[in-house]
Chains A and B, each alone.
Chain A
Amino acid sequence: MVKLAGLSLNEQEFLTDSLKQGIRSDGRSLDQFRDVEITLGDQPGYVDVRLGKTRVAVRVSGSITKPYEDRPFEGIFTISTEIGPIAGAFFENGRPSDEEVLVSRLIEKAIKRSGALDVEGLCIVAGDKCWNIRADIHFMDFDGGFIDASCIGVITALQHFSRPEVTVSGEQVVVYSTDEREPVKLSILHVPICVTFALFNPKEKEENIKGGADGNEEAGEFAIVDATMKEEGLSNGTLTITMNKNKEICQISKSGGLPAEGLMVMDCANKAYGIVEKLTDQIKEVLKQ
C-alpha cells in the first residue's frame, strides 16, 4: 500500500531473493497468515486487534437519528477509516491518499455492502427514527495487513456491541439504560473475513505478460499471504479476497498491479477459505468469553 522509500537496495534485493526461495523474514511460509490477537475491551463494542506488529482498534457506537429518505425501513451503518500519522509518519493527517481511499472502500464493501449487519433490524419508527451504528477504526501501528486486521476488528466489535433496549408506544420512543434493561445484541447475518495476498514477479515484466522465452515456461509469479509493510512495499500488486464461512465470496479486489493468471486467483481463493475458517472460529472463541 505505502511504498517504503526508506528501504535500501540491498534490503530490497535480499527480501525479494529470499521470497523467491520461499523464505520470509519472520520465518512464516508463503501461505501462512500471522497470528491474530483479539482483545475485547471492557466497554461493549471495543476491540483491539493485533496482527503481528500491526495494531488496529475498533469502537462501535450507536445513536438514534432519522433514517435516509429513500430507505425509511433501514437503519444507518457507517464505517470510518481515517488513517492518521500515529500509524506511521508517512501517513498524512486529514487528506486521505488514493491508497487510503482503496482501503476504506474495501472495508466498506466487505462489511457494509455484503450485508453483514442487518440494517433493517435497526429501524425503530419507519421513516422517523432508526439506529445509527458507527464503527470507528483507529489505525495505530502499521506493518501491513490493515485491511485484514480492520475487517476482523469491525466484525468482532459488531458482535461484541450491544445497544440499549428500545420500546415504541405510538409516537413515543423509550430508551432503557443498561441498568434498567439488558442491552440487545446487533443482528449479524454473516462473518466476512478479508485476506490480502501480495503478488510478486520474480522474472522480467515482459515474461510475465507475454509468457516465457520458450513459450511453455512457467511464468513464475507467486502470491504470499498477509504481507508485512516491507513485503507490501516490494510487491508488484495486491489481491484482496473477502469470504465468509458459508463459502460465499463477499468481494474480490485486484486493483491493477501484476497481471495474474485466473488459476492463481482460484488458488488464492482456496487458500483464503482455509484462513477464513480458522479466523471465524477464533473470533467465536474470543466472543464466548
Chain B
Amino acid sequence: MELDAKIGVLNNAGGSSEVSLNGIKVVCGINGPMEARPRQELPTTCYLEVIIRPAIGNPTVREKYMEDKIKNFLNSVIIGNLYPRQVIQVNLQILEKKNNNSSYTSDSDESAATEDVLLELNCCINSAFLALVDANISIYKAFNSNIFTYTHKGSLVKDGLSEAKSRHLVVYGIKNNKVDELLYGENVGRFSEKKLFMALERGEKESMILHSKLKELSVESVKQKFVYLS
C-alpha cells in the first residue's frame, strides 16, 4: 500500500508528522531538545524518551517493547553529542491499525499482537524520520523502513498483509543519496539464511525508492517553513 505522509501537523510539538502505511496511521510529535530532569541528565549526550500509545486501550508491555526498540535505534541515528544534558521526547500515537475481524474476545488479542508489531514499527520509524527532519534535530543519516513478507508459497512480497510464513522489517541508512548501512532489522517467523539475505537485498532497492519520496516531502515542508531571499 502506498505511503501517505504529512509533515508539521501538530502545533505544540517541535516537529511532527503523520504517516499512513498498510492501513496503519501513526502521528509522531517530537519535543526537544529541552531541559532534562535531574534523573534523565546525561553529561555528554542527549537522553531520548520514546512514548508509544496504542490505538486501543492503555499502553502495555507490547508498547514498552516497541519503545525500547525504537529508542535503541534512534540513539544510533541522532547525533546525541550535540545536545548534552538535554532531553528529546519522541511521542508516537498509533491512530489506526489493522482491523482484526476475527478477534472479539480478549484472549485472541495476544496472537494478533505479535503479527502487528512489525507493521506498527514500520510506520513508526518512517513517521519518526519525518518528524525529526521537521524538528530540525541532527541525524547522522537519513533512514527509512520497509517491510517484506514471505508467503507460504515462498514468494517475497513487499508489505504483505495476510498470513505470512515470515516477516522482515528492514531499516537502511542513506548517505550521499546512496543506500549506506543496515541500521535496524527485525525478523519474525521461519526462514532460511538465503531468504533473509534476499529480503535484505530487496530492502536496499525499496529503501532508495522510499527515500526519494520522503526526501521530496521534507523538501516541500522546508520550502513552506522558511522564506528564502532569492
Q: Is the CB of B95 within 8 A of A138?
A: yes
Having A82-B53, A86-B29, A138-B53, one finds 14 other A-B pairs with CB under 8 Å, namely A43-B99, A46-B95, A57-B93, A57-B95, A59-B56, A63-B106, A82-B58, A93-B49, A136-B57, A140-B29, A141-B13, A143-B11, A143-B12, A177-B101
Residues of A near B91 (CB, < 8 A) are: 84-86
The interface bits of chain B over 152-169 (1 if a CB of A lies within 8 angstroms of the residue's CB, else 0) are 000000000000000000
Known: A57-B95, A86-B51, A140-B27. A64 touches B104 (CB 8 A): yes
Q: Are B104 and A63 in contact (CB under 8 A)?
A: yes
Does A65 touch B at the CB level, under 8 Å? yes
Let me know if B105 and A46 touch, CB within 8 A: no
Chain B residues 154-213 with CB under 8 Å of chain A are none
**Is B45 part of the contact surface with A, judged by Cβ < 8 Å?**
no
Answer yes or no: B115 CB below 8 A from chain A CBs. Answer: no
CB B9 to nearest CB in A, in angstroms, measures 8
Pick from A80, A87, A89, A143 the residue with the most CB of B within 10 Å: A89
Tell me which residues across on chain A come within 8 A of B11, comparing CB atoms: 53, 141, 143
Task: Return A44 CB to nearest CB of chain B, in Å.
Answer: 9
Chain A nearest Cβ from B66, distance in angstroms: 15
CB distance from B128 to the nearest CB of A (A): 13
Chain A residues within 8 Å of B31, by CB: 85, 89
CB distance from B61 to the nearest CB of A (A): 14
A134 to B89: give the CA distance in the assembly, Å: 28
Given A59-B56, A86-B93; A142-B12 close (CB under 8 Å): yes
Q: Contact flags (1/0) for B10-32 with A, using CB distance below 8 Å?
A: 11110000000000000101010
Residues of B within 8 A of A82 (CB): 53, 58
B34 within 8 A of A: yes
Which of B12, B34, B56, B93 gathers most chain A CB within 10 Å? Answer: B12
Tell whether A72 is near chain B: CB-to-CB under 8 Å: no
Q: A84-B91, A178-B101 are in contact. Are A55 and B56 (CB under 8 A)?
A: no
Alpha-carbon gap, A143 to B11, bound state (A): 9
Whether B56 pairs with A89 at a CB distance below 8 angstroms is no
The interface residues of chain B lying within 8 Å CB-to-CB of A59 are 55-56, 95-96
Q: Does A164 contact B (CB under 8 A)?
A: yes
> Can you pick out 12 interface pairs between chain A and chain B where the beta carbons lie within 8 Å of each other?
A42-B96, A46-B95, A59-B95, A63-B104, A86-B13, A86-B51, A89-B34, A136-B55, A140-B27, A141-B11, A141-B13, A143-B12
Which 7 pairs of residues, A with B, have the shortest CB-CB distance?
Answer: A86-B91, A88-B12, A86-B29, A89-B31, A53-B11, A177-B101, A141-B10
Rounded to whole angstroms, the CA-CA distance of A136 and B96 in the bound complex is 12
**CA distance in complex: A177, B103 (Å):** 10
**Smallest CB separation, B62 vs chain A (Å):** 15
A101 on the B face (CB < 8 A): no
B102 in the interface, Cβ–Cβ < 8 Å?
A: yes
Q: Return the contact of A80 from the options B58, B96, B106 (Cβ within 8 A).
A: B58
Closest residue of chain A to B89 (Cβ to Cβ) is A85
Residues A89 and B12 in contact, CB atoms below 8 Å apart: yes
Q: Which of the listed residues B91, B101, B104 has the most CB atoms from chain A within 10 Å of its own CB? A: B104
Name the interface size band of chain A: 20 to 34
Instruction: Name which of A64, A140, A143 has the most chain B CB atoms within 10 A of its CB.
Output: A140
Separation of A93 and B10 alpha carbons in the complex (Å): 18
Interface residues of B, CB < 8 Å — how many?
A: 29
CA distance A64 to B49 in the complex (A): 35
| Separation of A10 and B106 alpha carbons in the complex (Å) | 54
Residues of A contacting B55 with CB < 8 Å?
Answer: 59, 136
A89 adjacent to B89 (CB under 8 Å) = yes
Measured between beta carbons, the chain A residues less than 8 angstroms from B58 are 80, 82
In the assembled complex, the CB of A188 is this many whole angstroms from the nearest CB of chain B, namely: 20
Q: In this assembly, does A61 line the interface, its C-beta being within 8 Å of a C-beta of chain B?
A: yes
Q: Which residues of B contact A164 (CB under 8 A)?
A: 104
Residues of A within 8 A of B89 (CB): 85, 89
* A87 and B12 form a contact (CB under 8 A): yes
A259 at the interface (CB under 8 A from B): no
- With the chains together, A97 CA to B92 CA distance in Å? 21
Q: Which chain B positions have C-beta within 8 A of A211?
A: none
What residues of B have a CB within 8 angstroms of the CB of A65 in the complex?
Answer: 105-106
Interfacial chain A residues near B96, Cβ < 8 Å: 41-43, 46, 59
- A175 on the B face (CB < 8 A): yes
Cβ B53 vs Cβ A84 within 8 A? yes
Contact with B along A32-67 (1 / 0, CB 8 A): 000000000111001000000101010101111100
A46 nearest in chain B by CB position = B96
A80 to B99, CA, bound (A): 20
Contacts of A84 in B (CB 8 A): 51, 53, 91, 93
Chain A residue nearest in CB terms to B31: A89
Give chain A nearest CB distance to B178 CB in angstroms.
Answer: 34
